[in-house]
Amino acid sequence: MAVSLDLKPALRRANGPEPLRRKRVQPVTPTSPVRNKIIARLLIFATVVLLVDSLVGDKGLIERLQARRKYAEMEASLNELKARNAALRQYAKELKDNPAAIEAIAREQLGLARPNEILFIVRDAKPRSN
């Protein structure tokens, strides 16, 4: 029996893949303190550069705030124009449908009057100074 047990592992290795083994890890060599200081300073410098760029760069925070303000102004202007457009549409519809509105405009702006109607024009006179 002892012989057959020794043959089975030999057959397995010959027929199958090699068993998994841990690889040896190389020990890490300690770095010098001067090198650590240089690396730390480089990382701090890179962080500061990235931070400044994110604030004032091409697509930085300041430009974004300006764009948001401009967007809000444009949106308010657009809403104002939409309201004015709606009022003008209503006015045009009223002029089409209501002849009394046309008559009122003709009386006010053109100074027209109906037949047999007396028109009085009152002008503002400047007071005389003594």
pLDDT bracket for residue 18 (50, 70, 90): confident
Q: How far apart are CA 112 and CA 103, in angstroms?
A: 9
Q: Which two tokens stand for residue 77?
A: 């202007």
pLDDT in tens, 28-64: 887 788 999 999 999 999 999 998 888 887 788 888 8
Separation CA 9–CA 39 (nearest Å):
52
Tell me which DSSP letter residue 57 carries: S
Per-residue pLDDT tens for 58-108? 788 888 899 999 999 999 999 999 999 999 999 999 999 998 888 888 888
Whole-structure pTM over 0.75, yes or no? no
CA–CA gap between residue 68 and residue 76 (Å, rounded): 12
Q: Select the more confidently predicted residue: 73 or 129.
A: 73
Q: Which pLDDT does position 45 carry in this prediction?
A: 96
